[in-house]
Amino acid sequence: MIQYQEQHRIFAIQTKGSSYVFGINAKGILQHLYWGTPVDVEDCIPLLTNRGHSSFDMELEREIEEYSFWGGLVYSEPSLKVIWPDGVRDLCMDYTGHQIVQQDGKETLVMTMKDRIYPLEVHMTYAVIPEFDLIERSVRIVNTGEHDIVLESMQSAAWSLPTLPDYRLTHVTGKWSGEFQLRNTLLSEGKKVIESRRGFTDGHANPWFAVDSGQATEERGQVWFGALAWSGNWKITAEKSSFNQVRVTGGINDFDSEWILGPGESFDTPMFVGGYTEGGFGEMSRHLHHYQYQYIIPSQEPRKVLYNSWEATYFDVNAKDQMALAERAAKLGVELFVVDDGWFGARNHDRAGLGDWFVNQEKFPNGLNELIEKVHAFGMEFGIWVEPESVNPDSELYRQHPDWVYHFPTRGRTELRNQLLLNISKPEVKQYILTFMIDLLSKHDITFIKWDMNRTITEPGMKDHPIHRQKEVWIRHVQTLYEIWAELRERFPHVAFETCAGGGSRIDLGILRYADQSWPSDNTDAFDRLSIQEGFSYAYPPKLMTCWVTESPSGMNKRVTSLAYRFYSAMMGTLGIGSNLNEWSDELIEQSAAFVQQYKDIRPVIQYGQQYRLPALKHKGVTAVQYVSLDGSESVLFGFLHSQRLGEPLPRLRLQGLQADQSYRIDQLESTWTGRALMNIGIELPLRGDFDSLMYRIQRV
Ligand code: GLA
């Protein structure tokens, strides 16, 4: 899969459906040559040339450097920029060797580069995922000298694209309760930057990109894409040069950032996975989904149907009400009962108690175990909410340790949701978090943690950390978070984790190495969720997406939707219920229990199958998403109509992913078709009126 053409010094990474080729040019620079439909390594030999335009633009090949070392004639977005101990700031890196090794079961190419004078080594890693046409790139930077080297920017990878008539960038944007909104834009000369500077992944953007010529659709067309495994400040820069060269560089955001690399130390950048497909955005997503299932997330277990008390009780949590909720939840068929915020300290509202991780005795006079035993007796597992990185100023913890939060000594401390953020890389703070989490998980039979983070970083000063290292804060926070999660997972392998940050502000391939599922948005309105879930699905798979059924009218926006609509919308990921069941009638419980059972029946298709977005009737207000089991034997179709105009019937909808020659039965329609007919002629969706919905099970006969 990894080829080396020694005579011309060209490397080719061959996957099932792509070739990725670069070579070492006459100047010793790693030059990108090709990324796309499979070609032979020999075919790329003529591409390895230097190209100048004028004395002003003498080395255009630097625009397609595999990894852009800032120095000399590099004027495009740099991949690496350093300050040497003597104040010189220019890199002259030469290729010194390479290795092809097996690493974590993946064939991996490691390219080694060294500076001509200064003691720095850079190992650029390409790990190949051939079945999904993906390459995982990262870089290790090693200080082999005796003095500190300052890393001003150390990106994970630069992805050069071939010449296209146009370059269309697809990404997501958003905000609290409106995360994962899809956007696309044509790139003109200059840079388009998507990034986070808020300390976490951020709901305003998410670290992945896709580029196509503007022609790709869900079903076909060339798409180049990538996703970054980093949960802190990140930056993805899509840059188009005046010579029509487009390169996408990404990694840790260099804004207000610096890392001091001491003698003998090394720094590993986060992993940036990139891929190529000819199967349009649909196949891009399916490759990313199954890559995460197989290579990123920590467990292959099915995700459980959960109940979460947040929207039912908010901070008004107590043993009695929670037990009543648990009893109702069990009747629904819920498998995991989760108590959200409000169970600890003086946490009666969002103004106090955060940081005081002891069970509130007034709310739980007999401790948490009384409730947990009840939950178990009802046949469910027990989960709980925590937000360990934050503190309310009105808390015992803050009163004792006001210096534990990020702050600048001469400035105020900005509060967001009445809270401040702990400097978790301070050893005693990290230990405090580990101690209470270990205590919580050791003393209680808890199998699910919802780990929240409800504020951004402000005034990023770290007390007691050396002055010249203060800009390491953004990186240290994330590194420490990963260390804490890694240790907790190791100690408590039976506990599943959900990543949450005021909704969907911390979902990325970095945290997903430790998380079993994620909370995409606090917006639980079943219609609003459809676009959030669509945007989510571009890079992340259904199983990782927790979706709750909540009240109608929706508490968010007063929208009225039917029970079926709310269930179907939530069944598209990992199903949860978030309503106040104490107010539900027995009849409603019974109807809902039937939906929960339906979900359990289709769960293997949703959580392990392939997802197909079917946007053909979007202009008619229809959202349709189909799931197909890997063996093609079973499929599920969800359809949602926003509102019907003039009583117009909807055109037929063509399905995808079925086996053409096989017959499929749709029970709800009481009929059987071939896969060929379903995929080419399609079916009529009997959606009528406003906010109508359907779910079809399509089974091979
Ligand atoms: C955040 C989460 C919610 C809920 C609250 C609790 O907003 O996204 O789901 O847990 O915190 O305070």
For the chain, the helix, strand and coil percentages under 3-state DSSP, each to the nearest 5: 25, 30, 40
Q: Tell me the C-alpha distance between 440 and 389, whole Å.
A: 16
pLDDT on residue 645: 82
Strand extents, DSSP E, 594-633: 610-613, 622-628
Centre a 10 Å sphere on the Cβ of residue 286 and count the other Cβ atoms it contains.
Answer: 21
Output the pLDDT for position 649: 83
Interval between CA 658 and ligand 1 midpoint (Å): 39
Residues in the chain: 701
The residue whose CA has the least distance to atom 1 of ligand 1 is 502
pLDDT of residue 319: 98
Residue range 204-235, pLDDT digits in tens: 999 999 999 999 999 999 999 999 999 999 99
Whether 192 and 237 have beta carbons less than 8 Å apart is answered as: yes
Q: Kindly report the protein residue whose alpha carbon is nearest to atom 9 of ligand 1.
A: 522
Testing ligand 1's pocket by substitution, the residue of 452, 532, 548 carrying the most ligand atoms inside 8 A of its CB is 452
* Catalytic residue annotation: 452, 522
User: How far apart are the C-alpha atoms of 276 and 209, rounded to whole Å?
Assistant: 12
User: What atom in ligand 1 is closest to the CA of residue 450?
Assistant: 10
CA distance 355 to 697: 47
Query: Cβ(502) to ligand 1 under 6 A?
Result: yes
3-state secondary structure of 145: coil
Report the nearest atom of ligand 1 relative to the CA of 340. Answer: 10
Q: How far apart are the first and last CA of the chain?
A: 39
Q: How far is the CA of 383 from the centre of ligand 1 (A)?
A: 14
What pLDDT was estimated at residue 234?
A: 98
Tokens standing for residue 226:
């990538």
Helix (H) or strand (E) holding 496: strand 496-499
Predicted pLDDT at 395: 98
Residue 212 CB burial class (10 angstroms; 0-12, 13-18, ≥19)? buried
Residue with tokens 């919905």: 693
**Per-residue pLDDT at 51:** 86
428/432 Cα distance (integer angstroms): 6
Written as six digits, the tokens of 692 are 């109508």
What's the rounded Cα separation, in Å, for the pair 176 and 84? 42
600: Cα within 13 Å, side-chain hemisphere:
12
CA of 332 to the centre of ligand 1 (A): 23
- CA distances from residue 529 to 508, 520, 535 in whole angstroms, order as listed: 19, 9, 10
Rounded to the nearest angstrom, the distance between the alpha carbon of 503 and the centre of ligand 1 is: 7
* Any ligand 1 atom below 6 A from CB of 310: yes
314 Cα: distance to centroid of ligand 1 (angstroms): 9
User: Which residue shows structure tokens 């063509």?
Assistant: 654
Mutate to test the pocket of ligand 1, among 315, 391, 454, 507 (most ligand atoms within 8 A of CB): 454
* Residue 627 Cβ contacting ligand 1 at under 6 Å: no
What is the distance between the alpha carbons of residues 279 and 195, in angstroms, rounded to a whole number? 27
d(Cα 431, Cα 378) in Å, to the nearest integer? 35
**Cα separations (Å) of 640 from 45, 158, 612, 643, 656?**
52, 40, 15, 9, 17
Q: Nearest Cα to 380, choosing from 422, 435, 330?
A: 330
Contacts of 202 (CB under 8 A, 6+ apart): 196, 456, 505
- Token code pair at residue 95: 């290729």
Longest dimension (CA), the chain: 81
CA of 340 to the centre of ligand 1 (A): 8
CA of 311 to the centre of ligand 1 (A): 9
How far is C-alpha 26 from the chain's CA centre? Answer: 40
DSSP code of 302? P
Give the per-residue SS3 of 388-428.
CCEECCECHHHHHCHHHECCCCCCCCCCECCEEEECCCCHH
Asked whether 518 lines ligand 1 (CB < 6 A), one says: no
**DSSP helix/strand/coil, 639:** strand
Closest C-alpha residue for ligand 1 atom 6: 341
Our answer on whether the CB atom of 452 is closer than 6 Å to any ligand 1 atom is: yes
| Residues contacting 221, CB < 8 A, separation 6+ | 212, 213, 215, 278, 279, 280
Q: Which residue among 340, 387, 389 has the greatest number of ligand 1 atoms within 8 angstroms of its CB, and so is best to mutate?
A: 340
498 lines ligand 1 (CB under 6 A): no
pLDDT in tens, 577-619: 999 999 999 999 999 999 999 999 999 999 999 999 999 999 9
Q: Is the peptide bond before 686 cis (omega within 30 degrees of 0)?
A: no
3-class secondary-structure state, position 464: coil
By the 8 A CB rule, do 235 and 255 touch?
A: yes
Strands 574-577 and 306-308: parallel
CA distance 325 to 321: 6
Cβ–ligand 1 contact at 522 (below 6 Å): yes
Q: What is the dihedral of CA 311, 316, 321, 323, to 10 degrees?
A: 80
* Amino acid present at 343: W
Provide the 3-class DSSP secondary structure of residue 501: strand
Q: What is the structure's pLDDT at 567?
A: 98
Where residue 363 falls (left for φ over 0; alpha for ψ -120 to 50; beta otherwise) is alpha
CA distance 245 to 66: 13
88 contacts 96 by C-beta, under 8 angstroms: no
Residue 305 to residue 603: CA distance in whole angstroms: 10
What separation in Å is there between the alpha carbon of 189 and the centre of ligand 1? 41
- 650-676: b (≥16 Cβ within 10 Å) or e: beebbbbbbbeeebbebeeeeeebbbe
Dihedral, 440, 444, 446, 449 alpha carbons, nearest 10 = -10
When the pLDDT of each residue in the chain is averaged and rounded to a whole number, the result is 97
Q: Which residues of the chain are modeled with pLDDT < 70?
A: none
CA–CA distances in Å: residue 603 to residues 32, 210, 302, 343: 43, 29, 8, 31
Could you give phi then psi for residue 96, rounded to 5 degrees?
Answer: -120, -5
Best residue for ligand 1 mutational test, from 307, 522, 529 (most atoms within 8 Å of Cβ):
522
